[in-house]
A = this chain, B = another copy of it.
Amino acid sequence: MFNAADYSDLLHQLETFFAQSTPSHPVSQPLDPAQLRDRLPLNLPAEGKPLADLKIETAAYLHHAVKTAHPSYFNQLWGGVNGACLMGELLTSATNTSMYTYEVAPVATLIEQALITKLGELIGFTHPDGQFTTGGSNGNLMAMAIARHRAMPTLKQDGMLNAPPLIAFVSADSHYSFAKAAHLLGLGTNQLWAVPTDAQGKLNVAELESLITKAHSLGAQPFFVAGTAGTTVRGAYDPLTEIAAVAQREGLWFHVDGAWGASVLLSPKHRELMRGVELADSVVWDAHKMMGMTLMCSVLLVKQRGQLLNTFSTQGTDYIFHADESEPVDLGPSTMHCGRRVDAVKLWLAWHHLGDRGWAALINHYFELAAYAECLIRNQPYLELVTPRESLNLCFRVLPQSPDQDANQLTLRVRQVLLQKGLAMVNYARIGKHIIFRLVICNNQTQCTDLDRLFEQIGAIAHHLQAEFPQEKT
């Protein structure tokens, strides 16, 4: 039923795909949807064909896929490739099981628990509880649900009908998943209060305190505060120790969204950025970002055992959960999901490949690259670092030669040319009125020479655009 030989064509296609994920090839060749539709076998056939003939489809897929392992792929908070992780993915898919019961996933359950313990210890939790989730947004949602349950356990049955207004606090720079969570949980986004940030993009604790006072004065009930450890755009780390002190005094659940930045805990040199995380009640940590696992590989860690189970357990599950052991080994009752894909095995295998020291070296390397990129930006008069670099995000813009020209438009157009030519993929965002490049360093294929090349390209494109459109201003 499974012949290794059937996979040799695909493996060789992949070998070529990765061999072409290098600077001499484009990172992508963007087409608009209509053009791309014409080039793909999207029609699903009435008659099938043998496995060997599927190389037509796989070749089409690979030809048009974005090369996220290309050293010039800086577009998101993930990228690169890890050979051990890919082996783990193949192992996971071939043994196809679901994380809900120990009965059908004995090995994966113990591996997931071992990883929860390890990551929990890195955070500083004494008896960590947790689950792998379907992504950082999912983890933030679950954390907010646990906090709500702690604040008002009757909500599970009664709903929010007669509940007081429950107020959650996040920084103005926090991820949009908190807004989705507030909506889904029935709190409403109006009950998610954005705390202003300081000039570096960190949550302002004095503002948090005054908002809590304001909430009380309105008869509302604060129940949750999140610190972001590595904000999405700037990579800023909120002052976790100070937020924790407020949370403790006010009886709020303290959650840390470390989806992007918690992985610095793997580096003795850089873990100081996460100072205070051990005071959190829950932490989200995406191993598919800085640790380079394939999507998804996201973890929710909870300080106190049993809170996941108390929040998410429900009736009507006895057809599947038969546990009569003293030790709770079925992970399913402690999550919002029923079936859940195995995401832990690839991380376990990658850990055996890299070891603690390999992870530390990887994180340190990223910080060295980020410092190098910062130098390159500072050394060019036509580039401006728009916000101080705290971690691996470099937010900069391209300045026009003439004050009559518009930096936002120029930055956008430089980005567009990079993308259209397949030279590099770097995303953009806004900070205040400025449109900025958000260059993210988290691709294990990237080296200093790749950054040299990127900035040479940016310089050349900017120069060319300004020569071509000297008067442009929008």
Contact = CB atoms under 8 A, between A and B. Distances in A.
For this chain, the copies found in one complex come to 2
A1 interface: yes
A36 to B, nearest CB: 6
A157 B188 contact: yes
A352 B114 CA distance: 39
A336 interface: yes
Interface string A29-55: 011110011001111111111110010
Interface in A313-347: 314-320, 322, 325, 327, 329, 336-342, 345
Interface stretch (A75-83, A398-406, A464-472): A75-83
A137 interface: yes
Interface in A101-132: 102-107, 109-111, 114-115, 118
A144 to B, nearest CB: 10
Given A2-B81, A75-B103, A155-B188, 8 more contacts: A2-B14, A46-B356, A61-B345, A64-B106, A66-B95, A161-B188, A175-B316, A322-B428
Interface string A299-318: 00000000000001011111
A263 to B, nearest CB: 15
B137 A355 contact: no
Contacts of A241: none
A460 interface: no
A115 B187 CA distance: 34
Given A83-B6, A95-B68, A318 B18 contact: no
Interface in A253-293: 288
Contacts of A103: 30, 66, 75, 419, 425
B48 A352 contact: yes
Given A95-B68, A338-B175, A329 B87 contact: no
Contacts of A58: 87, 91, 349
A316 B145 contact: no
A145 B180 CA distance: 11
Nearest to A46: B356
A243 B104 CA distance: 35
A455 interface: no
Contact of A429 (B50, B118, B318): B318
A48 B82 CA distance: 13
A294 B342 CA distance: 11
7 closest cross-chain pairs (CB), A and B: A186-B186, A159-B188, A48-B355, A2-B18, A319-B429, A89-B93, A4-B11
